[in-house]
Amino acid sequence: MAADLSRVGVATPIGHLTVVVSPDGVVCTTTDDPASLDDVLGARPVERRHRAIAQEIAAYFAGRRRSFATAPDLRLVTTPFARAVLERTVEIPYGEMATYGDVAAAAGRPGAARAAGTALRRSPIELFVPCHRVVPAGPGYGRYGGHEDRRTFLLRLEGAI
């Protein structure tokens, strides 16, 4: 798998984002140490063709882009339900939110809101799969993997809150 992967780093308001890219799209993103991606995926340093992804991300954070031309590559998502959850999440429009229950139902399993939350928490791709747009049905916006401030920032950036 590693032979077709490369990576690009981008400074963002939510931290330094490392994006691992295949010929099919974004495989994963992380704000952790990019060396951890090398250990797991063997992604090579940036190739020129991926600089456009860095420009997309910069335009998103500048408020000039509402969607990404680069698609997510879900090769690291191992279950059909998790894949369906992420695919439905990509369809949530910029500036809008859906509940975990909404996404679970759209993925074919009404009543599986907790399982949808687990799939989103394990998503290897941030921004390109806008997990921040999926919130609990109850009050608040949820924990977002311990990064509540990041979710709030992204929802404000998009005008959802």
- Which residues are designated catalytic? 131
Helices (H), the chain: 35-41, 51-61, 80-90, 100-106, 113-121, 148-157
Asked if 25 contacts 73 with a C-beta cutoff of 8 angstroms, the reply is yes
d(CA 133, CA 38): 29
d(CA 120, CA 51): 27
